[in-house]
Structure 1
Amino acid sequence: MVLPFVKLGTLVLKTMSKPVASRLKQQAGLHPRFRQFIVDIAQRNHKITTQMQRRIYGHATDVEIRPLNEEKAVQAAVDLIGEFFVFSVAGIALIFEVQRSSRSEARKEEIRRQELETMKQRDEELSRELEILRRKLEEIEELSKKRGLGAVFNFKHATTEAAKSPEPA
């Protein structure tokens, strides 16, 4: 019953993170210090990705890479921040889901362990009862060897006959 609500909550959280990321992007471009910080991040990111693309396509990597203009850098950085935010929310939701699932599995494993322990105890009880029955059978066999097999049956028969017959007066 709880599982559908958890999954629905995770989906809502992911969906709500997109407008939050959009708002974060909007505000990121307005503050001067933060704006300079994200421009620097965007320029480094542009340089790294351009070098990687040049290596992948087999082009020369020793050429100078022109920096982005400030508006493109701000746009690239806020896009990067927005994607990072959405990815972080999805990652946190995934970690939460994995932990919840592992707790559920741990509970199931504990129940299985308890059931196994109960079965082991029952097995031990049955083993004890079986041992008692073996001892009784050995006693009966000993009696039959001493008195003969007919004596064992007659002993039982004799005790019932004695109980039925009236005592002489």
Structure 2
Amino acid sequence: MSLTLKLSSLVIRTLSKPIANQIKAQAREHERFRRICVSMAQSLHRMDMRLRLGLLRDTTTAQRRAAAEAAARKHKPTTPTVKTEAETKAEADAIAKAKTAATEADKPAPKPHIRPLSESKAIESGASFISESFLFIVAGGLIVYESWRSRRKETTRREDVESRLVELEQSEKAARRALVALETELLQQKAKNGTLPLKPPSRILPREVWEIEQKEEAEDAKEEGWLSHIGSYVSSLWDSVSNPQSPATPENEVPASKEASKAQSESSSADQADKDTQTKTS
């Protein structure tokens, strides 16, 4: 992260603290803002107390249920014994009480009454919550901005590297083609001047350069071939759609070729006669 961004985030965090204190002061002075703070503080207080009481009630209910089950198991006879009528009645009453306690333990506890906060305490709690929320939003916004900025910087740097690689590949390809063309031109000039040796001349460029160039030329020719085939097919299809005429039959083509050969023979005989006339005249 740059120094400017660090200083900016530090300034914003420093300025956010007095702003939070000013929010607290405004909450005590303005009536509407005070009502907002009081309602917010009371809602947070009720939510907090319900969570705490819910946890306590769950623990208490579990303890009561465990105690009732233990009492029921305690009063349940394990071995058959001879009992008097009074003992049997007392045991039945104990079992009934244990079952009643277990049933009451399973019942949901009544909703407790939560005592609201006083007005001064609610104002203080609501103003503190708003100021802390403001500080949290400022800090979270700075973190999100820093993350977005670093990600954008990384993306830009990656795009620059990719564009430079493409430019280097294009310049290398252009230089290689220029060297190949230069060597080809040099060999052609030597062949014209008759300065080539009897044995095959050794090339100046390495063999790998020629292999790469030949491979690229083959790929370009293949692509051009596909494109030419597609173009010719499309043009023929368009011609057939625009001019729906019956194609020439082989019977019509044969006389045309015969007429063309006849005209060619006549023109060649006329040329030969002109040459003979010029020879006799000379």
**Same fold per superposition (TM over 0.5):** yes
Mapped partners of 1:126, 1:56: distance in 2: 78
Sort the Cα spacing of 1:87 and 1:61 in 2 relative to 1 into closer, same or farther, 3 A. Answer: farther
Any idea what SS the aligned residue of 1:42 has? Answer: helix
Equivalent residue runs for 1:76-155 within 5 Å:
76-125=125-174, 128=177, 148-149=198-199
Retained in 1: the 8 A contact 2:20–2:134?
yes
Aligned residues: 148
How far did 1:135 drift?
A: 6.6
Equivalent residue runs for 1:64-79 within 5 Å:
64-79=113-128
Aligned to 2:274: none
Mapped partners of 2:158, 2:174: distance in 1: 24
Mapped partners of 1:65, 1:126: distance in 2: 84
How far did 1:129 drift?
A: 5.3
Specify the code of the residue in structure 2 equivalent to 1:38. Answer: C
Any idea what SS the aligned residue of 1:121 has? Answer: helix
Mapped partners of 2:49, 2:179: distance in 1: 80
Any idea what SS the aligned residue of 2:2 has? Answer: helix
TM-score normalised by the chain length of structure 2: 0.44
How far did 1:11 drift?
A: 1.3
Aligned to 1:39: 38
Sort the Cα spacing of 1:45 and 1:61 in 2 relative to 1 into closer, same or farther, 3 A. Answer: farther
Any idea what SS the aligned residue of 1:29 has? Answer: helix
TM-score normalised by the chain length of structure 1: 0.69
Sort the Cα spacing of 1:61 and 1:36 in 2 relative to 1 into closer, same or farther, 3 A. Answer: farther
Aligned to 1:163: none
Specify the code of the residue in structure 2 equivalent to 1:106. Answer: T
Moved more, 101-110 or 65-74: 101-110
How far did 1:126 drift?
A: 5.2
Aligned to 2:111: 62
Structure 2, unaligned runs of 5 or more: 60-108, 189-196, 203-282
